[in-house]
Amino acid sequence: MRSPASDIGPEANPDVDPVEEVLHRLRERGGRITTSRRILLRCLFEKGPHRTAEELAAEVQSVAPDVHLSTIYRNLDELERLGVIVHAHLGHGPATYHLATETHGHLVCEMCGGEMEAPEGFFRDLTAAAQREYGFVIDPRHFAMLGRCAACAEAVEATS
């Protein structure tokens, strides 16, 4: 029987701060542990919604005002190469970044700009069909599905 503390899940071990774990992996690759990287990683692990590079920069800068937007971009690239985060394109604006462990897709309304998350399983049949028919391996996290949300679709029907 395992200790009671470890029963709350594999990621809940208080001894392994995920931020520090990633920093260590960075160092093993020959990278350096810097303050901006630590702060950026905390932002990425802490909060909920997907954020753009600019939004992340603002959050980081509220703690360390001198961190430059280009540093954010460079570190986001690095973290993506490491497989810690991924970016997704939701509509026409800037890309958004989130943890690679979040495996949902996105539905984005092209009228109101609203975003919904769609669970991974939502795309299972489509990805299976693409695999089967074309050998194509779809990554349902990277793209947003554009269209009209329920409210906007209703509004359009009311007009016509």
Footprint on this chain of a copy of itself (rule: CB under 8 A): 89, 92, 107, 109-110, 116, 118, 122-123, 125-127, 129-130, 133-140, 142-150, 153-154
Three-state secondary structure call for residue 89: strand
Q: How far is the CB of 80 from a copy of itself (least distance, A)?
A: 12
Of 58, 63, 69, 116, the one binding DNA (CB under 7 A) is 69
Choose from DNA, a copy of itself, none: what does 4 bind? Cβ within 5-8 Å by kind. none
Contacts with DNA, 36-55, as mask; x by CB under 7 A? xx--------------xxx-
Q: Which helix (H) or strand (E) holds 88?
A: strand 85-88
Enter the tokens of residue 63.
């703690």
Residue 154 gets the label, from left (phi > 0), alpha (psi -120 to 50) or beta, of alpha
Q: Is 28 an interacting residue with respect to DNA (CB under 7 A)? A: no
Residue 29 structure tokens: 């690759």
Tokens of 147: 């269209």
